[in-house]
Amino acid sequence: MKTLIVIKKQEYEWLLDLFPGVHPLLLPICNKPFIEFFVDFSIFTGSNAIRIVSDGPLRDVERYCENGSRWGVEISYGSMLPADELHSVIDKNRRFCQEERVVIISGFLFIHYDKKSDYASLFASLPSGELFSCGRGSISLTGTPVVETNTTTGASPFSLTALDSVGKYYRLSMDILKNGLTRYVLPGYSSESDCYIGRNVVIPKSAEIKKPVIIGNNVQILSNSVIDKNSVIGSNVIIDRESVISGSIVMDNTYIGEHLEVKDKIAAGNLLIDPESGTTIVMEDPHLLTSMAQSKVAGTLLRRVVHALAATLLIILQFLPWFLLRPILGIQGNWKRDKGQYHTGLPGKAFTMTKTTIGNNGPLCAIAKALSLDRFPLLFRVLSGKLLLIGSQPVLINPATRVIPNSMSGYRPGVFSYAEAEDWPEIGIDTEIVEHYYAVHGNPLKDIAMTQKALFNRTH
Amino acid sequence: MNISEKNINSYTILSLQGILNASSAPQLKTYIAGLPDAQSIVVDLENVEFLDSSGLGALVGIARRKKTSNAVIKLARMNERVKKVFEITQAYTLFDIYDDVSAAAEA
Amino acid sequence: MIFHLDNSTSQPVGIVILKKRIDASNSSELQKAFAHWLQQTNRLVFDCTELDFIDSSGLGAIVSCLRKTLEHHGDLKLAGLGPKVAMVFELTKAKKLFSIFSDSSEAIQSFSVVDPK
């Protein structure tokens, strides 16, 4: 038996806005990443190989699951297009689907299974075709049964829930916590029922913890705090003094300030979500709720220094021609400036930049263009750290143009762009492709070489 | 880089072998320019040892050209190295990608 | 912040309409203005229908307004909390300190039912 998991981006997009930075397949449900429930279920059906197929990025999922050796199964990954129907996905994965029977799980579904049931013999005896569906997704099976059985399945030993709203997510977590702890394999150390506690959890004597509860790793609960019943606390969490958490989910890397009361909510970083109404507030006070994610400054510092040095060199080289040509081009009307609001690398933050375009009249314009003098004023922004020397093409803030999605963490605006250096078409998604490439493969030295290439390419 | 050609159904299957980078990308472009514009193709990538952004640029360029002439380009049998490049660049959003050549040449 | 006196009941009630956000940038302004309003009446209502966001300094200002009103033997009531503002009041337990009404006319009515001390 094998399992093919087909998940479309469209089905989980709502989660990207809610929990940016967490791939929806890695969203913890009772502190267990969502994808692990799929893996567990696949193994229970007797699968020895799992393929995860999506039209969205799977990089983070691949980084987490790797090749599946941790679970003793072989996990591979595939891609599809948003418009693909299930049969074309099966075509695209024909080599995987050959020879053995395949359980196909399609949709962003939670499968309520029970680890004590015997799914392997059940699936081996079921006929092919769609077995279960819940409107938003389905489980189907290919191939012919190995053993014919005359039994009808009767009450199915599992059911499906499509995860399509934060309310469903919350209710699912609460349902597992209250009724399903024995059905699933959950992380943490459990010395008594209804209570799972991770590693390195500090609980002072004055704090109170009531079952059922799940607590992740590296959690500090400070004096006189109460973790009331029905709470899920993630990893790397601090609950400060005299706060009360009840019926709530506190996601990974969250700090909850002192004297607070979190009741029937989801707290994630500096977000507080009311799962029933869907109301979300962003806390601006770091002493109330904060995200504790680590920043990656060290790597970018070297990059900045190298870029600043190279920019200084370019400023020195370009200064004289700029000084001579700029006034003439200005008088001729060949030096056009456009002020605009551009995206920075940080979500929701903008900066103002003036873009220069040089006209097309006469030899002076040609010289100025060949020397990339239009970028000269921007070089100073590299020194102030606003721009990289070479990076992504700065994106104007304008709903009509390409939007920076949350997942695109590689975007860092530059004076020159990788697309220019690579002679790529500078439009839409094509530009993004080459930018993604260098977000991973770039390094400061390569950046210098790419800048040279950009300078050279722009003259041609 | 070696390019070998065969035909299955109405598709021309191009099997690439070797390195697809800035120096070999023009070779692929010229080869495909030699085929009729309306010819749909399947590019078999199993034996591509290395793919960089220029090589990817060539494939994207071909996809754009095929689209304007109502033909199709499909990719088949990506190995792990090639898959990684497609994953980080999200170039998979532009192509039909198959794990089997004959399945690609059917639809 | 708009202030007016409502004379529909036996004693005048001061209605303050809070707008957009109360945060570090305008919370001291609110406290200053509140001292003047308190001289006119000790029965006050903050109408929060148009308030979108409140941070901890804004919350601190409102709580100190309440404290001052209680010192003057009056009451400060809240009306028309939107879902986001209500969440902050719940989170910080400030909700327990105030009488909260769904709109300002209900809050005004409540003053004539039970007289403040």
Model confidence pLDDT, tens digit, residues A106-129 = 999 999 988 888 888 888 888 888
CA A389 – CA A315 distance, rounded (Å):
11
**Could you give the CA distance from residue A187 to residue A198 in angstroms, rounded to a whole number?**
7
The values of phi and psi at residue A336, to 5°, are -100, 135
Asked if A433's CB is within 8 angstroms of B60's CB, the reply is yes
Domain that holds residue C40: 2-113
Question: Is C55 at the interface with chain A, CB within 8 A?
Answer: yes
- In angstroms, the CA A51 to CA B100 distance is 15
- Taking contacts as CB-CB distances below 8 angstroms, the residues of chain C near A247 are none
Domain, as residue range, for A227: 189-291
CA distance A370 to chain B (A): 23
State the pLDDT confidence band at C23, using cuts at 50, 70 and 90: confident
Contact status of A2 with chain C (Cβ, < 8 Å): no
A427 pLDDT tier (thresholds 50, 70, 90)? low
Residues A217 and A349 in one domain: no
As a whole number of angstroms, the distance between CA C83 and CA C85 comes to 6
Closest Cβ–Cβ partner in C53, C56, C87 for A287: C56
At residue A401 the predicted structure's pLDDT band, cuts being 50, 70 and 90, is: very low
Contact C87 A274 (CB under 8 A): yes
Which pLDDT band, with edges at 50, 70 and 90, does C117 fall under? very low
| Burial class, B11, CB count within 10 angstroms (exposed 0-12 / middle 13-18 / buried 19+) | buried
**Same-domain pairing of A64 and A175:** yes
Could you tell me if A361 and A417 lie in one domain? yes
**Last residue in a domain, options A256, A291, A326:** A291
The letter for the amino acid at A131 is L
Interchain pair A57, B87: CB under 8 A: yes
Q: Which of A170-174, A176-180, A187-191 has the lowest mean pLDDT?
A: A187-191
Give the chain A residue nearest C91 (alpha carbons).
Answer: A261
pLDDT of residue A152: 52
Query: Inter-chain contact B53–A62, Cβ cutoff 8 Å?
Result: no
Residue A226 and residue A166 share a domain: no
Please name the amino acid found at residue A220. Answer: Q
A73 and A201, same domain (yes or no): no
* Average pLDDT of the segment spanning A42-66: 93
| List of chain A residues whose C-beta atoms are within 8 Å of the C-beta of residue B89 | 432-434, 436-437
Most confident of A32-36, A157-161, B57-61: A32-36
**How do beta strands A138-141 and A102-106 pair?**
antiparallel
Q: How many helices (H) and strands (E) would you count in chain C?
A: 4, 5
The 10s digit of each residue's pLDDT in A354-392 is 888 888 888 888 888 888 899 999 999 999 888 889 888
Chain B: give the shortest CA distance to residue A342, in Å. 22
Provide the CATH number for the domain formed by B2-101 in this structure: 3.30.750.24
**Inter-helix orientation angle A376-383/A297-332, to 10°:** 150
Are the Cβ atoms of A77 and B97 closer than 8 angstroms? no
Q: From the list A279, A281, A288, which residue is nearest C56 (CB)?
A: A288
- Least confidently predicted of A36-45, A189-198, A202-211, C24-33: A189-198
Looking at the fold, whether A280 and A302 belong to one and the same domain comes out as: no
Q: Tell which of A291, A312, A342 closes a domain.
A: A291
Average pLDDT over chain C, rounded to whole?
87
Cα A328 from Cα A331, distance rounded (Å) = 5
- How many domains would you assign to chain A? 3
To the nearest 10°, report the CA torsion of A253, A258, A261, A266: -10
Q: Which residue of C has its CA nearest to A246?
A: C91
pLDDT recorded at residue A406: 44
Q: Does C83 touch chain A (CB under 8 A)?
A: yes
Identify which of A262, A277, A284 has the shortest CB distance to residue C91: A262
Chain A touching partners, 3 or more CB pairs below 8 A: B, C
> Measured between beta carbons, which residues in chain B are less than 8 angstroms from residue A57?
87, 90
Max Cα–Cα distance, chain A, nearest Å: 92
**DSSP string across A111-155:** EE--TTS-HHHHHHHSPSEEEEE-SS-EEEE-S--SS-------S
Average pLDDT over residues A250-264: 93
Q: Would you call B97 and A436 a contact, using CB atoms and an 8 Å cutoff?
A: no
Report the share of chain A in percent with pLDDT over 90. 45
Residue B68's CB is within 10 A of a number of other CB atoms, namely 8
Nearest CA in chain C to A287: C56
Phi-psi region of C114 (alpha: psi -120 to 50; beta: other; left: phi over 0): beta
Contacts 24+ apart (CB under 8 A), B26-31: B26/B58, B27/B1, B27/B3, B28/B1, B28/B3, B28/B55, B28/B58, B28/B59, B28/B62, B29/B58, B29/B61, B29/B62, B31/B3
In the predicted model, what is the mean pLDDT of residues B43-66?
91
In the structure encoding, which two tokens stand for residue A181, read together? 């702890």
pLDDT for residue B41: 95
The answer to whether residue A184 is domain-embedded is no
Any domain includes A417: yes
pLDDT in the model for residue A151: 53
> Tell me, what CATH number does C37's domain have?
3.30.750.24
Q: Among A286-295, A404-413, A448-457, B66-75, where is mean pLDDT lowest?
A: A404-413
C-beta atoms of A272 and C91 within 8 A? yes
| A69 and A45 belong to one structural domain | yes
Q: Per residue in C25-57, pLDDT tens?
A: 888 889 889 988 988 888 889 999 999 988 888
Question: What is the domain partition of chain B in residue ranges?
Answer: 2-101
% of chain A with per-residue pLDDT over 70:
90
Cβ contacts of A261 on chain C, cutoff 8 Å: 90-93
- Tokens read off for A29: 């449900």
- Please, which residues have CB within 8 angstroms of residue A118's CB and are 6 or more apart in sequence? none
Chain C CA closest to residue A272: C87
Nearest to C75 by CA among C104, C97, C48, C93: C97
Which contacts (CB < 8 Å, 24+ apart) does range A142-150 have? A142/A90, A142/A97, A142/A101, A142/A102, A142/A104, A143/A100, A143/A101, A143/A102, A144/A101, A146/A101, A147/A121, A149/A125
Distance CA A391, CA A381 (A): 13
Over range A291-309, report the average pLDDT.
Answer: 72
Q: Is A63 on the interface with B (CB under 8 A)?
A: no
Residues C25 and B94: their CA atoms lie apart, in Å, by: 48
Residue C53 touches chain A, beta carbons under 8 Å:
yes
Long-range contacts of A449-457 (CB under 8 A, 24+ apart): A450/A390, A450/A416, A450/A418, A450/A421, A450/A422, A451/A310, A451/A389, A451/A390, A451/A416, A451/A421, A453/A421, A453/A422, A454/A390, A454/A416, A454/A417, A454/A418, A454/A420, A454/A421, A455/A372, A455/A416, A457/A420, A457/A421, A457/A423
- Whether the CB of A288 is below 8 Å from some CB of chain C: the reply is yes
The whole-chain average pLDDT of chain B stands at: 92
Residue A348: what pLDDT?
62
In this complex, does chain C touch chain B, defined as having at least 3 beta-carbon pairs under 8 Å apart? no
Using CA coordinates, name the residue in chain A closest to B91. Answer: A433
Least confident range of A94-98, A143-147, C39-43, C97-101: A143-147
Q: What is the pLDDT of residue A302?
A: 83
Judge whether A21 lies within some domain: yes
Last residue of a domain, one of A233, A262, A291: A291
Q: Are residues A261 and A392 in the same domain?
A: no
Q: CB A79 to CB B86 under 8 A?
A: yes
Residue C63 and residue C31 in contact, taking contact as beta carbons nearer than 8 Å: no
Q: Chain centroid to CA A103: how far? A: 27
Q: C113: part of which helix (H) or strand (E)? A: helix C104-113
CA distance A82 to chain B (A): 8
**Residue A72 covered by a domain:** yes
Same domain, A321 and A278: no
- And the tokens for A447? 């950046």
Question: Which stretches does DSSP call E strand in C1-117?
Answer: 2-6, 13-22, 43-54, 75-79, 99-101
Residue A399 has pLDDT above 60, yes or no: no
